[in-house]
Structures are given as structure tokens and as C-alpha cells.
Amino acid sequence: VQLQASGGGLVQAGGSLKLSCVASGRTFSNYAMGWFRQAPGKEREFVAVTRWTGTNMYAADYSESVKGRFTAWRDSAYGNTNVYLQMNSLKPEDAAVYYCAAHPLSGVMWSRGGPLDYWGQGTQVTVSS
């Protein structure tokens, strides 16, 4: 199983970035998949999760700090499951390493930062003021 995140970079405050995460190696269709971030010297923070609500149906939940600015969604292609994070109106405080994750359940483990079954490597997001 592998989760591969990409799309990070340097952006000015107010700008946008789209992160992608490709999950492979097993079926993730009914898994919760989402994003966390960790800034230097800070604890890992929940950002967003897409949770399975029925056949090919998903809902997304967000932390209050990103609600209205970030959008998470997912799709499948070539046997892999992809989860995305569109980040708009970026602020300097959004700068962090962003990680994608997957777990069979959606629930408090996401807001608590774990434990989750699968994690991807991080992708750095830098926001200049």
C-alpha cells in the first residue's frame, strides 16, 4: 500500500494550490481519506477528510481553520484512489507539510490525528506574505 502526495510549492498569500494524493495497493473505495498538516514546532493538525456515505458517494468535513477556503474530493482511476485538496485564499499560517492519510473509519481519530492505518509522505506548502 502506498499513498503518494504531490502538488506542494511556494505561493503568495491569497493564492491557490491543489494537492493530490494517489493511493494504491488496495481498495480504498469505502475508506475515509483526507489531509493533515504539520507546521514547524507544532502538532499535526487535521485539515479535511472525505468519508464514504454510500455507493460512490462521499462527504467532506473540514477543520474550522480551512472551512470555506479548502475543498477536498476524491476519485478513482486505473485501480488507484485519488484524493485532492484545493486550497484557495492561502494564508501564511497555512504553511506546513501536508500529509494524506487513509483509514477504514471516519470519526474522532481524524480530529485527534490518529491512529490511522495509512499515511503518505508529506508535501511542503509555503505561503509568502
- Summarize pLDDT for 32-61 with one digit per residue, the tens: 999 999 999 999 999 999 998 887 789 999
What integer pLDDT is reported at residue 57 of this predicted model? 84
Cβ atoms within 10 Å of 13's Cβ, excluding its own: 14
What are the tens digits of pLDDT across the range 67-111?
A: 999 999 999 888 899 999 999 999 999 999 999 999 999 988 898
Q: Among candidates 90, 111, 110, 122, which has minimal Cα distance to 33?
A: 110
Cβ distance 102 to 117 under 8 Å? yes
Q: What is the pLDDT of residues 1-10, one digit of tens each?
A: 999 999 999 9
ω into residue 92 within 30 of 0, thus cis? no
